[in-house]
């Protein structure tokens, strides 16, 4: 919940801070490129002074080539600054939706699930959420077990307490049973929304980044093909090299 509040506040304040950040970054980049250009120009000018026999055209071409190495960057425009401000406020709605549908329900669910730890009971672990399928499965298990245990604990906890500590244990068991009925059923209800939404969010994220992963895989395959095609050592030579290395290791 605090993370969601912080993200929403960052979106609002970003209307003012993002343009300033973009301006400063652009200013620093231009200053770095200008200093690099000046250093390159000074280096070429010094070389031309040393070589007096070089024609003037060579000096001009050297300066032109230096200028072409690091082209001057135009200053950031007001439209780009306004775009940075708009992009920040544009993220308010998605972050608010994610907070209401995923983060806050999950925070409530985890809080309610861990209340039984206060009296020595370990909550059930229904597995990680990696996508829509696993999210729906975890949500269903949390809902089913939450209601089943929450209702049954009203009877089970007093019975267990009476068997262990008599009347005092039975009284404690009644309190534990009432607490379980509220916390476990509550975790089941909020988990039905939270885990399902979390699964949907992770599936959408995987879909969005699938193109990037595919590009990385294709680049690795291309690199592997290049290494195979440009390998100058055949299999026989590789085996001979390995044999020699093993022999040297044996001698030592």
Mark which of 59, 75, 90 sits at the end of a domain: 90
Cα 75 from Cα 65, distance rounded (Å):
22
List all residues 6 or more positions away from 190 whose beta carbon is below 8 Å from its beta carbon.
Answer: 105, 106, 108, 109, 112
Confirm whether 175 is domain-assigned: no
Q: List the one residue out of 111, 131, 113, 110 whose CA is nearest residue 198.
A: 131
What is the distance, to the nearest Å, from the Cα of residue 41 to the centroid of all Cα atoms in its chain? 42
* Tokens, residue 244: 């020699």
Q: List the one residue out of 9, 11, 16 whose CA is nearest residue 92.
A: 11
Confirm whether 158 is domain-assigned: no
pLDDT tens readout for residues 208-238: 767 776 777 777 777 767 666 666 555 666 6
Confirm whether 46 is domain-assigned: yes
Confirm whether 236 is domain-assigned: yes
Confirm whether 115 is domain-assigned: no
Cα 190 from Cα 198, distance rounded (Å):
12
Cα 34 from Cα 40, distance rounded (Å):
10
Residue 51 above 60 pLDDT?
A: no
Position 37 confidence tier, pLDDT thresholds 50, 70, 90: confident
CA dihedral (144, 148, 150, 151) positive or negative: positive
Position 13 confidence tier, pLDDT thresholds 50, 70, 90: confident
Confirm whether 30 is domain-assigned: yes
Confirm whether 170 is domain-assigned: no
Give me the phi and psi of 176, to 5 degrees please.
-65, -40
Q: Using a cut of 0.75, tell me whether the model's pTM lies above it.
A: no
Query: Mean pLDDT, the chain, as a whole number?
Result: 75
Mark which of 49, 68, 90 sits at the end of a domain: 90
Q: Are 203 and 146 in contact (CB under 8 A)?
A: no
Reduced 3-state DSSP string for 96-126: HHHHHHHHHHHHHHHHHHCHHHHHCCCCCCC
Mark which of 90, 107, 135 sits at the end of a domain: 90
Confirm whether 20 is domain-assigned: yes
Number of domains in the chain: 2
Q: Which residue range forms the structural domain that includes residue 1?
A: 1-90
């Amino acid at each position: 919940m605090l993370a969601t509040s912080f993200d929403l506040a960052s979106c609002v304040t970003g209307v003012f801070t993002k343009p300033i950040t973009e301006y400063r970054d652009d200013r620093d980049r231009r200053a770095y490129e200008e200093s690099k250009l000046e250093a390159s120009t000074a280096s070429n000018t010094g070389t031309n002074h040393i070589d007096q026999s070089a024609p003037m055209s060579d000096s001009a071409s050297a300066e032109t080539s230096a200028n072409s190495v690091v082209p001057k960057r135009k200053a950031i425009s007001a439209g780009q600054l306004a775009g940075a401000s708009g992009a920040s406020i544009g993220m308010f709605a998605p972050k608010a939706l994610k907070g209401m549908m995923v983060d806050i329900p999950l925070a409530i669910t985890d809080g309610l699930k861990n209340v039984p730890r206060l009296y020595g009971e370990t909550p059930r672990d229904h597995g990680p959420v990696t996508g829509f399928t696993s999210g729906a499965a975890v949500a269903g298990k949390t809902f089913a077990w939450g209601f089943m245990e929450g209702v049954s604990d009203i009877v089970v906890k007093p019975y267990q307490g009476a068997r262990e500590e008599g009347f005092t244990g039975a009284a404690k068991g009644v309190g534990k049973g009432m607490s379980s009925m509220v916390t476990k059923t509550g975790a089941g209800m909020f988990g039905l929304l939270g885990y399902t939404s979390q699964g949907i969010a992770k599936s959408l994220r995987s879909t969005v980044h699938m193109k990037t992963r595919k590009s990385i895989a294709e680049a690795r395959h291309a690199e592997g093909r290049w290494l195979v095609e440009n390998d100058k050592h055949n299999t026989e030579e590789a085996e001979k090299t390995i044999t020699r290395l093993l022999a040297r290791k044996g001698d030592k």
